[in-house]
Amino acid sequence: MDRRKDEHGLRFTEEDRKKVFQKIKEQEAGNGDQPGGTLAARLKKAVPLSASIIVLILFAGLLLLTINESLFPQTGQAPSSEDEAWIEDIEELSFIWANALKERDGKPRYEMMSPEAKEKFIEEQKTVSGTDWNYVLCCSSPWVVEFEIERKDEHSVMITYLTQTSEPRYYKSVEVISFREENGRAVVDEYETVLEDEEVMEAE
């Protein structure tokens, strides 16, 4: 009987080899329907399962997106042209308001005020200069060196002023200005000094 050495030096007859291959084929045929069977059988079962999982993930993602949009409809939306115009008006008026104090000229402030704010302004000016009031703001010292404007929200800003006297000494004052729309334009609805002449060690 012809025997051949394999690469490990073991001897198998051709009949031995046929028996081994036949046994392997029988095992594969028997395990095809069992968990962990042939690769082809496992793939056949895995493909429909994977497709189901993908469909489920896509459905869950779509549902989550729909819920998010319904709860937070404004998230990620760009501001409209009207919103941008309003913000530009607020920024421009805030600069004019702050610069008016630097120039000590209250007329630009008065012109941008609501009727209620104008009444408040007139009463304040009468307290300083009597019934024959004028538009002159504050006093000659301390004077405004610089100012910084910070938008608090859609309708209000905070203005921080750095002022100085001749010594020199430096001070900080803070105003909060609120706006509203009147006849299609922004006007100052309310203004308040929340910090006045707080001394600082040096120019900030």
Query: Of the candidates 72, 79, 73, 91, which has an alpha carbon nearest to the alpha carbon of residue 156?
Result: 91
Strands 185-200 and 143-153: unpaired
The pLDDT value given to residue 138: 82
Cβ atoms < 10 Å from Cβ of 179: 23
Asked whether 20 and 6 are in contact (CB, 8 A), the reply is no
Digitized pLDDT (tens) for each residue of the chain, 204 residues in all: 444 444 444 454 667 656 656 666 666 566 555 554 544 444 444 445 455 666 556 666 665 555 455 444 454 455 577 788 999 999 999 999 999 999 999 999 999 999 999 999 999 999 988 889 999 998 889 999 999 999 999 999 999 999 999 999 999 999 999 999 999 899 999 999 999 999 997 655
Q: Is the pTM of this model over 0.85?
A: no
DSSP letter at 79 equals P
Tokens of 42: 């496992």
The pLDDT value given to residue 43: 42
The pLDDT value given to residue 140: 85
Distance CA 188, CA 157 (A): 11
The pLDDT value given to residue 51: 59
Cβ atoms < 10 Å from Cβ of 177: 24
DSSP H helical ranges for 13-106: 14-31, 39-71, 81-103
